[in-house]
Structure 1
Amino acid sequence: MDQQKAGLCLSVLFFFLASYLVTDTWLWGYKGKYTNLRHWFPPKELVFTQKELLQYDGSDPTKKIYLAIKGEVFDVTAGRPYYSKGGGYGFFSGKDASRAYATGCFQTHLTHDLRGLTKQQLADIDGWASFYRNHQKYFKVGTVILDPIDPASPIPEDCRQPVAAKPSS
């Protein structure tokens, strides 16, 4: 039995060593969520109000950067150049902007209001949430308590509405 254990240990050691020699990584090039220690040892889940989440919008370089999708809050601090103020995705930071992930309207749709979206758009939002859940460097830290949407309020206006044609001369 001890010989079997020794053989198993040598096999595991060979697996990791061979991987490192061939690919310069310990897991044959795999770079998914399982290589992030936070996946195995997650932090205690935090609960934010929308106002509290806004403190983590990337404007303060000493604070982490969080964003939310459908109420799930993710730490995207590892992507500070992208998610801080002025970064290409900075408008997502510090809030739940689920609607904008589906519509691409980054001016009027930075909201968690999902009313009026198609099944495909809702699936797209789920896809983005999955992206953050399974990312190597980003990870879930908690949830945000979202303010209820008044059903009588207007649905956010689409920023890509066709412009009326110019009158012919």
Structure 2
Amino acid sequence: MDELKYRGVKVIHKSNKVEELDDNTTEKTTTIPQDDDDTISFSFFDIIRMLLGLLVLLVSISWWFTGTGTFGYEGKLIDPHFLKFQIFGSYLNLTDLELSKFNGSIEGKPIYIGINGTVFDVSSSPGIYGPGGSYNYLAGKDCARAYATNCLNQLNYDIRDLEPSEKRRLKGWYEFFEKKYFKVGVVNHEPLVGPGPDRSDCRGKNHY
């Protein structure tokens, strides 16, 4: 029991009573109430309101400085298709025929592009890869060769005869899609047999 003694008064932190210790002493005891520490508590809804307020503030600042609500960021992390795939989607294993059905012509289906066996969801750019888009002819296919050689009449995945510079170009395109869009699976191609495409028959070069 904590006791403090001053000026003939004994202070005991026990009760609020003042009492004589005994008949032969003038000491008295009293108790100083100990207040509980004040605590600040927040409900779940208080936290939600604060987070929403912070979000509104950040979006407002972003619009003021960048003209967008995301500080100029346009990557896949804010793509609703990406978020939906992360929650509900599963990694796909497609054939070339199955991939061809994701060219934007079927309403409600996403738009896929294959590049060197990897399938990317490009649904966030329907004006580019969707019907009427400038690159719609690339949708629903793996056009690795066209990306590497710039030969737009060779929309296939035959990259057996690529030169070093063409391999680097293909790698650059792959990294571009990987950064801006997101992978949804792979496409399993039929084995290539016979000679490759005729290099002399290359149209549309330097179109990209």
Q: Which TM-score applies when normalising by structure 2?
A: 0.60
Superposed CA offset, 1:47-84 (max 9, x none): 11111111112222332221100111111222223223
Offset, 1:139: 2.2
- Aligned AA for 1:160? C
Aligned length: 150
| Contact map agreement 2:114 2:141 (CA 8 A) in 1 | yes
2-structure distance, mates of 1:50, 1:102: 19
Offset, 1:25: 3.5
**1:75 maps to which of 121, 138, 142:** 121
- Quote the residue 1:123 is aligned against: 168
- Quote the residue 1:6 is aligned against: none
Superposed CA offset, 1:13-48 (max 9, x none): 498354343334454323233433626962321111
- Aligned AA for 1:99? R
**1:134 maps to which of 153, 161, 179:** 179
Computing the radius of gyration over CA atoms, which structure comes out larger, 1 or 2? Answer: 2
- Quote the residue 1:155 is aligned against: 196
Could you list the runs of 5+ residues in structure 1 that have no partner in the other structure?
1-8, 162-169
- Quote the residue 2:64 is aligned against: 21
SS of the aligned residue for 2:127 comes to helix
**1:32 maps to which of 60, 65, 75:** 75
Q: Which TM-score applies when normalising by structure 1?
A: 0.72
CA 1:123/1:66 → structure 2, altered by over 3 Å: closer, same or farther? same
> Quick one: higher RCO (CA 8 Å, sep 6+), 1 or 2?
1
Percent of residue pairs bearing the same amino acid type: 37
1:93 and 2:134 correspond? no
1-structure distance, mates of 2:132, 2:64: 40
CA 1:23/1:87 → structure 2, altered by over 3 Å: closer, same or farther? closer
2-structure distance, mates of 1:36, 1:96: 23
- Quote the residue 1:3 is aligned against: none
Runs of 4+ in 1 over 4 A off after TM superposition: none
Could you list the runs of 5+ residues in structure 2 that have no partner in the other structure?
1-49, 204-208
- Quote the residue 1:143 is aligned against: 186
| Contact map agreement 2:146 2:156 (CA 8 A) in 1 | yes
**1:44 maps to which of 90, 100, 115:** 90
**1:104 maps to which of 144, 150, 162:** 150
Higher strand fraction (1 or 2): 2
CA 1:56/1:22 → structure 2, altered by over 3 Å: closer, same or farther? same
Higher helix fraction (1 or 2): 1
- Quote the residue 1:65 is aligned against: 111
